[in-house]
Structure formats: structure tokens, C-alpha cells
Structure 1
Amino acid sequence: MDTKTEFNIEPCNKDNIKVIVDGINDYNLSKVPAIASIWTPLEFVAKDENGIEIGGILAGIGYWNGLEIKILWVKDGYRKKGVGSQILKHAETIAIQKGAEIAMLDTFDFQAEQFYLKNGYQAIGEIKDFPKGHKRIYFSKKLTK
């Protein structure tokens, strides 16, 4: 028996976004209970001796104590000098102290594939030819004390 449902699709406003986020969170938590009650931001900036930003990380720990790395950036001229590795290690250390047991992220082959491999991450999947001629790679790493 086919049931048809009438509905409209519209652009979201802030209230709609909250309903969507709350909806998926409620569903997820009905399947797997949370270990942590909230998103814990782990956002750090590295500055040179003049106070100029030379790098940073935007990450956080979610419901199931996973460190989710959204962005790690290092300014040209400071790359391949250990700055990124130090920023990453700092975030991982804080995450471990807060109970995180795994880290996850994605990057592109033209960004930081080798960087994450060098820092102990394992490629767990990829999307080939996205963007055209490249690949998006998904990484994870077990965090240990």
C-alpha cells in the first residue's frame, strides 16, 4: 500500500536548523547513549612572537568521546616546520585528558594526506575524483595516554 505525504521543501532558518539538529541528536541518542552530554570545543591558535596567527585547529569532542577535527591550518612559510604537528598533538593531548579515545577527520590529497599519515592517522576511506582529479580522504587514529 502506497501512502503519499504532501510537503514543501524550503530554505532553513535558525529555528529550522535547531529542529533538524535536535531531531538527529534525539534519534542517535535513542540508539546509542551519550558518554558526554555536550560538544566540547577544542579550538586553539598558534601565534608568532609578534602575535600574528600562524596556525590553528578547530575541533571538538562529541557525545561518544571522539575528537572530531574540522580544520587544521598552518600559514605558508611555517609549513613543514613542525607547527602543525605541535598544534595537532596539543589538541590530541587535551582530548585524551577529557576522555577521548579516537580522533577523526577528512582532508584532500592536495592538502595534508601525508601530514596525517606521518602523525599516526590511518586512512579509512576515500572519495575518488572529488574534486575532479583528486580525492577526499577520511582518517582516524586511536588516542592513547
Structure 2
Amino acid sequence: MSQSQPLPTIEITDNPSSARQKALLQSLRHFNANTMGYNDAWPLFLSITDGKDRLQAGLSGRTIYGHLLIEALWVDESLRGQGLGSLLMAEAERIAIERGCYGAQVDTVSFQGQDFYPRFGFVCVGTVENFPPGHTRLFFHKDYRNSSEVPKDN
């Protein structure tokens, strides 16, 4: 850096503005789109509610670069084991394939979904031990082109 230019300022915050976060993501996506020649990111949000519009279960993610990226899957503890997670997964994957995806990715922690995702044909492709302490972070992938697995009921 030349002496005539001011030094950059690094802002450290636990609560960034939504505008700053949006600008960061848009800048990265713009760079990626210019490099790859396209941007096919499309949000995906599925929710299950009761008759009073209270959230009972949900899946949040996006389809991008030919993949379904599952960012969050949650089922209320009182409703687990009743097939709601399976229902959400089946619908998310159906939509992803409809959107042209050929694979899916999700990461989870050993106390959450290590037995759930393999039922859908996901394969563990990597781990980080002791993250969080005493547990393992797991990275799963599924290739729709080579998968004939059908989700099993809970």
C-alpha cells in the first residue's frame, strides 16, 4: 500500500447490519457468477405448522450449482419420530431434482443427524473431531445420479 492511501479499517461486531451482510453475500455471489458464468442460487424453505400457525418443523436451505444445500432441519422435540423430518427431506429433494439438482449436501453434529441422513442415501464424506467439544461435525453428500435409495419411515 502506498503512503497516500489510508489503511483499511477492520470492523469487528457481533451484530452486523443486515445491509452489510447482504452486501458481503452479494459481492461474493457476483464474483462467483463472473468466474463460473452463472448464478443459479434459489432459496428453499419448507415449514410444517399446527392449526394456530406455530412452527412444528422446518427445513431451510437453497439450491445452487446443481446441489441442494440443507442449512437447517428441525422438528419440535415432542413430534420427533413421527416422520415429519422424513416428509420435509422427501419434499426438499423432490423440489431440488425438479430444479435440476444432481446432488445434495448437509453438515450436522454427531448428536443430531448422524443416523438420519444415511437413511436418505447420504454418505459421510468428512468429519471434524471434537467440534463442538465432545462431539463430531459430519459432512454428508448425496449424488442423485447414482442414488436409488428411498427414505425409510421413522
* Range moving further from structure 2, 42-51 or 21-30: 42-51
Contact (CA 8 Å) 2:56, 2:76: kept in 1 or not? yes
Name the structure 2 match of 1:28: 32
After TM superposition, give the deviation of residue 57 of structure 1 in Å. 0.8
Give the distance between the partners of 1:75 and 1:117, measured in 2 at CA: 21
Amino acid at match of 1:19: A
Of the three residues 39, 54, 57, the one matched with 1:55 is 57
- SS of alignment partner, residue 54 of structure 1: strand
Name the structure 2 match of 1:137: 138
Say if 1:19 and 1:46 are closer, same or farther in 2 by CA, change over 3 A.
closer
Amino acid at match of 1:42: L
- SS of alignment partner, residue 113 of structure 1: coil
- The alignment covers a number of residue pairs equal to 141
Contact (CA 8 Å) 1:92, 1:143: kept in 2 or not? no
Say if 1:16 and 1:135 are closer, same or farther in 2 by CA, change over 3 A.
same
Contact (CA 8 Å) 1:57, 1:73: kept in 2 or not? yes
What TM-score comes out, normalization by structure 2 length?
0.78
Name the structure 1 match of 2:152: none
Say if 1:123 and 1:3 are closer, same or farther in 2 by CA, change over 3 A.
farther
* Range moving further from structure 2, 67-76 or 42-51: 42-51
Name the structure 1 match of 2:116: 115
Cα distance per residue 1:7-29 (max 9 Å; x no partner): 21014434433332232222222
Name the structure 2 match of 1:13: 17
What TM-score comes out, normalization by structure 1 length?
0.82
Amino acid at match of 1:8: T
After TM superposition, give the deviation of residue 54 of structure 1 in Å. 2.4
Amino acid at match of 1:133: G
Backbone CA RMSD of aligned residues: 2.6
Give the distance between the partners of 2:91 and 2:138, measured in 1 at CA: 23
Name the structure 2 match of 1:40: 42
Unaligned runs of 5+ in 2: 149-154
Query: Which aligned runs of 4 or more in structure 1 are off by greater than 4 angstroms?
Result: 2-5, 48-52
Between the aligned residues of both structures, percent identity stands at 28
Cα distance per residue 1:89-138 (max 9 Å; x no partner): 11100111111111111100001111011221111111110110101111
Contact (CA 8 Å) 2:33, 2:39: kept in 1 or not? no
